Structure 1
Amino acid sequence: MSALPLLAVEGLTKHFGRAPHPVRAVEDVSFHVAPGEVLGLVGESGSGKSTIGRLVLRLIHPTSGTIRFEGEDISRRPERQLKALRRNAQMVFQDPYASLNPRLRVRDIIGEALDAHRLASGSRRTERIAELLETVGLPAAHMSRFPHEFSGGQRQRIGIARALAVEPKLIIADEPVSALDVSVQAQVINLMQDLRQRFGLAMLFISHDLDVVELMCDRIAVLYLGRIMEIGSAKDVASRPRHPYTRALLAASPKADPDAPKIRRMLTGDIPSPMAPPSGCVFRTRCPIATEECARNVPKLRSAEGDHQFACLYDMANDERPAAA
């Protein structure tokens, strides 16, 4: 892989509304994605995952922080200068039906991207659309159909074909399988893994399901209330989690150990309002091991083995306790 990250995010923050009570959707988030790498963003609804995806594509403007794509700072670049980014970074959406224009045939849904970037016209345009459909496992003859004539999984394949049309370097997949049946989920995940290998695609894979993220991704960033709680290789985060929130997500998965201690398996209560996040550690109001120290200090990301980092006064993997106040 290249030494230069394809995508580098530093101190990314997004607040909606105005002081004194803005919605703190994303707070001081930093990560990178190397060429050909898949980074998973995982967390409950309201954790800021989708907002980060929209910020990276500059569909919304950051409040502060920097977003660099291939080394170029795009954080404040005006809309008219974002065409190159939009070709190199594409999004696959959660709801495949809502993201496809119901009035257009498949040939025009996929062809719009080719037209916008002047990549193909005439007979070559038709050939390219046929190639893209076959790449995602659909017959070329289906290009004359409308979205309502397809199943959910087929519509998601069309959305993926549309994203691939401009030959991007990065795909932002925002909950791409959560609206699909379980059996279809596996098919779409397998397709995305195959496409990643075939085209050397990097991905920012957004999901609330840690099992899916572990299967799909090289590294995982666990988000809670707009902050990164833990980040590291998929293997390390899933097999040796350091943060209690990561442990709670793992415990909620279908493959969780039923004999694990109850306090480690249960995550009670609702995620707090991003308009009034808790003092100190934002997870402390739902954390089974929180102390008074957790209310006083905002834990910074600290390093474990390799590039594994976590933001907690405890190290859950080593039963470590916070230092005395």
Structure 2
Amino acid sequence: MSTVAPLIEVKNLQKFFGSSSKPVRAVDDVSFTIQPGETLGLVGESGSGKSTIGRALLRLIDSTSGSVTYRGEDLGSASGSRMRTLRSKLQMIFQDPYASLNPKMRVRDILGEALQVHGLAKGKEATAQRIAELLQLVGLPPEHAARYPHEFSGGQRQRIGVARALSVQPEFIVADEPLSALDVSIQSQVVNLLCDLRDQLSLTMLFISHDLDVVEYLCDRVVVLYLGRVMEVAPTETLFSRPLHPYTQALLAASPKPDPLLKTTHIPLKGDIPSPMNPPSGCVFRTRCPYAIEACAQTRPEPRDMGGGRLKACIRDDIDTLTTP
């Protein structure tokens, strides 16, 4: 395990929506760390709480309980003025490039706004030069600064979203499913762009996705979520070669394989995801787990250390693991 202090530390994070008597448990007691320079993947089915965690990390929404610290500073207790200062270090790439850009603003105004708010460019000439640098950084011609968002393709819009996030020279970026609204043909371009920028600028990133192939390619470690709870945490290579939790095994087995002759053990999941308003007792995954026993309904498993930087939230140790050829 690394002895370097984490850049981001999440402890017992909870986010409930709705009434206090019948809350929707979107995020329920989640803890993890992100080391400086690391890309941490956050995976799980739709409704597992991935985007809610991403927004809570940046305090775009307030958490119900728990804490998020950046370089040891508790973001939940930071004042409004302090958070405005920290915004330049903590940025987000949003999921929908069509909805995240103001259609009434030219690209130069979208990028220039952040520079002006944080005082990162003095005067029109310095601002224009910085905007040109940002566009070139994400692979767009500087003359595109005069265009409106509707004049760009989805992939180009997402590049503008990346440029906007980078404009304030952040240290940490939450990428919230940045590929899901893009055509498959251009997803690889954005993935390669994120890889290059991460290495070039020494960025730390939380990469939220349901695309396991991209997560395997891009991320250093992975957190697996189910119904707002952490099921497993592991280094990427280890997780994909030998998943320990039945839910992780099922996710990997269900992922499309490029080689039709590649055979993996299929782990069948029973039923549908339960409602977060009424999660199962004990282990939240037990109602769909093929290995569930009576004790799973009585005990709520916490992620426990399995060695080698791995955590698993399962009371059973006798489950055969999925073997990837």
Q: How does 1:96-115 map to 2 (within 5 A)?
A: 96-115=97-116
Query: How far does residue 85 in structure 1 lie from its aligned partner after superposition?
Result: 1.9
Answer whether contact 1:244 1:316 (CA < 8 A) is retained. no
Answer whether contact 2:270 2:287 (CA < 8 A) is retained. no
**1:268 and 1:210, CA in 2 relative to 1: closer, same or farther beyond 3 A?**
farther
Equivalent in the alignment of 1:35: 36
CA–CA separation in structure 1 for the residues paired with 2:275 and 2:77: 28
CA–CA separation in structure 2 for the residues paired with 1:189 and 1:261: 29
Equivalent in the alignment of 2:161: 159
State the one-letter code of the partner of 1:132. Answer: L
CA–CA separation in structure 1 for the residues paired with 2:142 and 2:244: 48
Equivalent in the alignment of 1:63: 64
State the one-letter code of the partner of 2:127. Answer: R
Q: Deviations over 1:203-230 (max 9, x none)?
A: 0000112221111100000000111000
Q: Secondary structure at the match of 1:242?
A: coil
Answer whether contact 2:224 2:230 (CA < 8 A) is retained. yes
Where does structure 2 lack aligned partners over 5 or more consecutive residues? Answer: none
Q: How does 1:62-101 map to 2 (within 5 A)?
A: 62-101=63-102
Q: How many percent identity over aligned positions?
A: 60
Equivalent in the alignment of 2:5: 4
Query: How far does residue 258 in structure 1 lie from its aligned partner after superposition?
Result: 5.7
Answer whether contact 2:43 2:225 (CA < 8 A) is retained. yes
Matched, 1:19 2:11: no
CA–CA separation in structure 1 for the residues paired with 2:162 and 2:292: 42
CA–CA separation in structure 1 for the residues paired with 2:3 and 2:67: 20
CA–CA separation in structure 2 for the residues paired with 1:60 and 1:134: 32
TM (norm. structure 2) is 0.94
State the one-letter code of the partner of 1:235. Answer: E
Query: How far does residue 80 in structure 1 lie from its aligned partner after superposition?
Result: 2.9
State the one-letter code of the partner of 1:41. Answer: L
Answer whether contact 2:270 2:290 (CA < 8 A) is retained. no
Alignment RMSD: 1.6
TM (norm. structure 1) is 0.94
* Selected match of 1:287 from 282, 286, 289: 289
Equivalent in the alignment of 2:170: 168
Q: Secondary structure at the match of 2:316?
A: coil
CA–CA separation in structure 1 for the residues paired with 2:12 and 2:238: 24
CA–CA separation in structure 2 for the residues paired with 1:313 and 1:123: 62
Q: Secondary structure at the match of 2:287?
A: helix
State the one-letter code of the partner of 1:239. Answer: S
CA–CA separation in structure 2 for the residues paired with 1:152 and 1:45: 22
CA–CA separation in structure 2 for the residues paired with 1:229 and 1:222: 6
Q: How does 1:223-238 map to 2 (within 5 A)?
A: 223-238=225-240
Q: Secondary structure at the match of 2:87?
A: helix
State the one-letter code of the partner of 2:277. Answer: M
Equivalent in the alignment of 1:239: 241
CA–CA separation in structure 2 for the residues paired with 1:165 and 1:25: 31
Answer whether contact 1:24 1:274 (CA < 8 A) is retained. yes
Equivalent in the alignment of 1:296: 298
**1:78 and 1:316, CA in 2 relative to 1: closer, same or farther beyond 3 A?**
farther
